[in-house]
Amino acid sequence: MDEVQIISTYKTILTITHQMLKAAQGNNWEKLFALEQECKKLTHTLITNPPQRILSADTQKRKIEIIHQILVCDAKIRDITEPWMAHLQKLLVPYSQTTSAKWSKYH
């Protein structure tokens, strides 16, 4: 990938990450999951298509700025999803324990 493609891909990831944050804020878990899959594809593209040459200092700086913005959004998303996941875990544990107890009764 050349510098323009790399920065463009990072910008697209940032845009999707902003959309993921909005989805998380709206409790739209299906959309969040779908957007997460898009990010994974783009990240895979970056990993499997390394730069054709060393990035210029300006491009490297811009890339780092975008990554920082992505990480800020990601932290905000985790602030929303982690408590929800903990709540879901609490709901599932009693079910899991009940199911395990019933299952072990037959084995």
- Residue 50 is predicted with a pLDDT of 87
Residue 4: closest CA among 52, 38, 65, 48 = 52
Residue 32 burial (10 A CB sphere; 0-12, 13-18, 19+)? buried
Mean pLDDT of successive 10-residue stretches along the chain, which has 107 residues: 96 98 95 97 95 92 98 95 72 60 51
pTM greater than the 0.85 cutoff = no
